[in-house]
Amino acid sequence: GESVGLHLPTLSVQEGDNSIINCAYSNSASDYFIWYKQESGKGPQFIIDIRSNMDKRQGQRVTVLLNKTVKHLSLQIAATQPGDSAVYFCAEMPNGRRALTFGSGTRLQVQP
């Protein structure tokens, strides 16, 4: 569900493990999805995107999975590194709109 204020859901993993960050999106008319990484004091950094005509897309160490049936998006990070520690946001773009709707974010903590 939604998190409020500073109480972001937190995922804590060991360095070298794989991480999975989940996101439930709200609009069944959304046709474009993006994952962003945000470090403290910085703007969101683009990681990977996926269009609604796909259910999986791979990048370097990252994979995004899209399940339109249950409106679920996930980001998988392989061999997680301390530099991956950040807040991760999913964002959706409803068909016909150009503004992104952001999820509330998940904090990833990587333990060395």
Partner 1 sequence: GAGVSQSPSNKVTEKGKDVELRCDPISGHTALYWYRQSLGQGLEFLIYFQGNSAPDKSGLPSDRFSAERTGGSVSTLTIQRTQQEDSAVYLCASSLDPYSNQPQHFGDGTRLSIL
Site for partner 1, rule CB under 8 A: 5-8, 31-32, 34, 36, 41-46, 49, 51, 89, 91, 93, 98-105
For partner 1, which is the closer residue by CB, 6 or 70?
6
For partner 1, which is the closer residue by CB, 21 or 89?
89
State whether the Cα torsion 3-81-15-24 is positive or negative: positive
Give 76's Cβ-side CA count (13 Å radius): 10
**Bridge partner list, 106:** 88
Amino acid identity, residue 35? W
Taking the complex as a whole, how short is the minimal distance between the CB of residue 85 and partner 1, in angstroms?
16
For partner 1, which is the closer residue by CB, 47 or 110?
47
